[in-house]
Amino acid sequence: MSHGTTPPSPLILVADGPLGGEARVPGDKSISHRAIMLSALAVGRSEIRGLLEGEDVLATAAAMRAMGATVERLGPGHWIVDGVGVGGLLQPQAALDMGNSGTSTRLLMGLVASHPVTATFTGDESLSRRPMGRVIEPLGRMGADITASPGGRLPLILRGAETPLPIRYRLPVASAQVKSAILLAGLNIGAETVVEEPVPTRDHSERMLKGFGADLSAEPLPEGGNRIAIRGWASLKPQALEVPGDPSSAGFPLVAALIVPGSDVLIRGVGQNPTRDGLVRVLSMMGADIELLDPREVGGEPVADIRVRHSALRGIEVPPEVAPSMIDEYPILFVAAALAEGRTVMRGIEELRVKESDRIAAMAAGLRAAGVQVEELPDGLIVNGSGGGPVAGGATVATHLDHRIAMSFAVLSLVSRRPVKVDDRAPIATSFPDFLPLMQRLGAREGQSHEA
């Protein structure tokens, strides 16, 4: 899990012709984390199918085990969890290693904050650079005592409150992780905790908390955004959960099919939650031929199959309001923009600078190295597209321990005159362990170093 200490394993992806066929992407990462956490807090045995078995989710599973839950794998994506009940978390005997996962860290900090246990959170180099002040501040108000490394970073020690306090909190940044941390802390408080989000962010925590029987209500605010209230101490009832396919992971084969000439691909079972569907909306505005087929519900979430065909894309000004619904998809949108006709302007996305890497800087550097004209802005990126023809390529790009940077450039390589070499494939395993075999099934192949 500690990438950065093992020797890097480069990746080159090549397409000799169109991509075609069907694929199923792995389970949603956000939902998988929440499924393990809430199952671990229920009283009794929950069963989860379609769980993402990426390293980030495995870090969450290990942490819940360390705090007393039984978390077991029965088969591919099929897990059972015996919960300890709200208030029942045990003192972990060793530091909780969060690996590369910001979601595990922030959500678990919320859980621990209202339990009388002390936990040390550690992570890899990328996670240790990321800001935790955004959760330290509200959880501190709830009574948790947190000693962080300089800059509010990992490693940190969190002493949960003996008598946690309910708060009313308006989020200063649009962050589902911060919202969820506060709501999860509120689970073990016998009064009402309220979070207001000025713009809607992914609502998987709200949906799943309700599904488990928590006393939670969410309503839109007149000025926009939502007010979410949770009254703790409800007993959570174990569930049988099915995790839909991850729309963020689907973004990679989806854009690959859009930009490789002649492609026609069907991606099955992809989550369509309106707080996550920004990429499909924006690509459609750019002229993408994307059809949503057989809309249905899986595990309380809307799902559809996505048929995508190679399309001539046009550059647009991407409305900044769409950002929270596709925040993790900008790196792959930059790649789509690199093949579009004209300029694509993406602003209001400064949050990308504090993800697994500074995604604006990392993508700008790699795109430039591959011959794409870009202009980096403090809060975004402008990409001048090729108009559909291949980009120059022939570069090695740095992934900075960031799975989405690695997969984005692997996709760009498919439409490069000379392949793009991704310096390290290891981070891909955090969210999409089967990325390479899936792309191979669609017709891509792994290139050799001499081709780069």
Q: How far apart are alpha carbons 319 and 324 in whole angstroms? A: 11
Q: Residue 448 carries which side chain, given as an amino acid letter?
A: Q
358 is catalytic: no
Q: CB 153 → ligand S3P: shortest distance, Å?
A: 15
> Total binding residues for ligand S3P by CB under 6 A?
11
If the CB atoms of residues 263 and 430 are measured against ligand S3P, the closer one turns out to be 430
Q: Residue 389 carries which side chain, given as an amino acid letter?
A: G
Catalytic annotation, pick one of 305, 328, 402, 434? 328
Interface with ligand S3P in residues 144-163 (CB under 6 A): none
If the CB atoms of residues 176 and 398 are measured against ligand S3P, the closer one turns out to be 176
Query: Which member of 351, 376, 423, 446 binds ligand S3P (CB under 6 A)?
Result: 351
CB 175 within 8 A of CB 199: no
| In the complex, residue closest to ligand S3P by CB | 30
Taken in order 360, 363, 368, 369, is the CA torsion positive or negative?
A: positive
Closest CA to 32 of 84, 71, 89, 87: 71
Interface with ligand S3P in residues 185-224 (CB under 6 A): 201-202
Per CB under 6 A, does 30 bind ligand S3P? yes
- Helix pair 278-285, 247-259: axis angle to 10 deg: 20
Match 């290891």 to its residue by tokens.
Answer: 426
Task: Tell me the window of 92-100, 170-178, 213-221, 337-345 that interacts with ligand S3P (CB under 6 A).
Answer: 170-178
Task: Tell me the window of 38-46, 175-183, 186-194, 263-271 that interacts with ligand S3P (CB under 6 A).
Answer: 175-183
φ, ψ (nearest 5 deg) of residue 187: -60, -30
**Residue 6, token pair as written in the block:** 């093992």
Interface with ligand S3P in residues 70-89 (CB under 6 A): none
Q: CB 210 → ligand S3P: shortest distance, Å?
A: 16
CB 265 within 8 A of CB 308: yes
Query: Which member of 41, 81, 136, 176 binds ligand S3P (CB under 6 A)?
Result: 176
CB 144 within 8 A of CB 194: no
Contact characters 315-334, ligand S3P, x per CB under 6 A: ------------xx------
If the CB atoms of residues 103 and 413 are measured against ligand S3P, the closer one turns out to be 103
Query: Which member of 114, 175, 386, 416 binds ligand S3P (CB under 6 A)?
Result: 175
Interface with ligand S3P in residues 389-418 (CB under 6 A): none
Q: CB 129 → ligand S3P: shortest distance, Å?
A: 15
**Residue 114, token pair as written in the block:** 């209202």
Q: How far apart are alpha carbons 266 and 306 in whole angstroms? A: 6
Task: Tell me the window of 6-14, 173-181, 233-241, 337-345 that interacts with ligand S3P (CB under 6 A).
Answer: 173-181
Q: What is the dihedral of CA 37, 40, 46, 48, to 10 degrees?
A: 30
Using alpha carbons only, how large is the chain's radius of gyration in Å? 21
Angle at the Cα of 181 (from 51 to 151), degrees rounded to 5? 115
If the CB atoms of residues 106 and 115 are measured against ligand S3P, the closer one turns out to be 106
Exposure class string for 313-343: b at 16+ Cβ within 10 A, else e:
bbbbebeeebbbbbbbbbbbbbbbbbbbeeb
Task: Tell me the window of 19-27, 151-159, 172-180, 269-277 that interacts with ligand S3P (CB under 6 A).
Answer: 172-180
Q: CB 31 → ligand S3P: shortest distance, Å?
A: 8
Where in the sequence numbering do the catalytic residues fall? 328
The binding site for ligand S3P (CB under 6 A) comprises 30, 103, 175-177, 180, 201-202, 327-328, 351
